[in-house]
Amino acid sequence: MRHVERYQRIAPLYDLLDLPFERWRYRALRPLLFRGLQGHLLDAGIGTGRNCEFYPAEAIVSGIDISPAMLERARTRCPRLAAGGRLYQMDVTSLAFPTASFDAAVSSFLFCVLPDPLQVPALRELGRVVKPGGLVRLLDYVRPRGSLRRVVSYLWQPWIGWAYGASFDRETERHVPAAGLELLESLFVVDDLVQLLTARVRGPRSGSGMMSLNPTPGPSR
């Protein structure tokens, strides 16, 4: 099943199914996506708009999603974007925005649903629409290494695969350099289960190697 159909199907139930995770896990993590970001921002795979209340006050944010039904829900939750006409139905692998139109792009729980062959094209496309030197920041589940969490992740896999097209095995971090982006930071923000990646679009001012940004909860590596 294609993602657009999958998310059309689940959109009416999405917020309800996610509610416990939203309340006890995601709400604390979402602000980390926007640390130090300002200007024109892209929220890729905006879903039902759960990031909206955490957008920096002065930022001008646009949201894209492949599913019209998810976007419909974002319209209610993100009135400023809706009123500004900045919610778009688009595929992250082929964005209709001109090159270098954003200061930064973020996504939450998009790359763990994107199939492996789409990971590099999606990262490349985010890198194309963000200005050189700008950041691409991603929050996603990965397969935990700790034995109990690992077992639990395998128990969850059939459900999240069927419902969301998601997998714990995406290896997005490995694809970042392949997409021509410079990995700046890789942090676990929930045990070894949820990862926050920050990459920089290469440009005249990019340096080299990993650098430390502001400290965040959870162990870093």
Ligand X SMILES: C[S@@+](CC[C@H](N)C(=O)[O-])C[C@H]1O[C@@H](n2cnc3c(N)ncnc32)[C@H](O)[C@@H]1O
Question: Is residue 108 within the footprint of ligand X (CB under 6 A)?
Answer: yes
The yes or no reply on residue 7 touching ligand X (CB under 6 A) is yes
Is 47 or 134 the residue whose CB approaches ligand X more closely? 47
Residue closer to ligand X (CB basis): 116 or 210: 116
Contact 41, 65 (CB under 8 A): no
User: Per CB under 6 A, which of residues 35..54 are in contact with ligand X?
Assistant: 45-47, 50
Closest by CA to 107, choosing from 117, 93, 96, is 93
CA distances from 39 to 5, 47, 139 (A): 33, 21, 20
106: contact with ligand X by CB under 6 A: no
Among 104, 105, 110, 194, binds ligand X (CB under 6 A): 110
Burial class (CB in 10 A: 0-12, 13-18, 19+), 45: buried
Instruction: Let me know the angle formed at the C-alpha of 114 by 90 and 170, rounded to the nearest 5 degrees.
Output: 155
- Give the binding range for ligand X (CB under 6 A) out of 88-96, 125-133, 143-151, 204-212: 88-96
* Closest to 190 (Cα-Cα) out of 129, 142, 153, 151: 142
67 binds ligand X (CB under 6 A): yes
Closest to 145 in 3D by CA, of 214, 191, 180:
191
Q: Measured between alpha carbons, how far is 166 from 2 in angstroms, rounded to an integer?
A: 12
Could you say which of 37, 52, 70, 201 contacts ligand X (CB under 6 A)? 70
Asked if 102 touches ligand X (CB under 6 A), the answer is no
Stretch that binds ligand X, among 53-61, 62-70, 172-180, 213-221 (CB under 6 A): 62-70
CB 99 within 8 A of CB 129: yes
The single residue among 40, 65, 102, 200 that binds ligand X, judged by CB under 6 A, is: 65
In whole angstroms, what is the distance from residue 80 CA to residue 60 CA?
Answer: 9
Q: Which residue is nearest to ligand X (CB)?
A: 47
Nearer to ligand X, 11 or 135 (CB): 11
Tokens for 161? Answer: 């695969």
* Contact window for ligand X (CB under 6 A) among 109-117, 123-131, 149-157, 168-176: 109-117
Binding site for ligand X (CB under 6 A): 3, 7, 45-47, 50, 64-67, 70, 91-93, 108-110, 113-114, 164
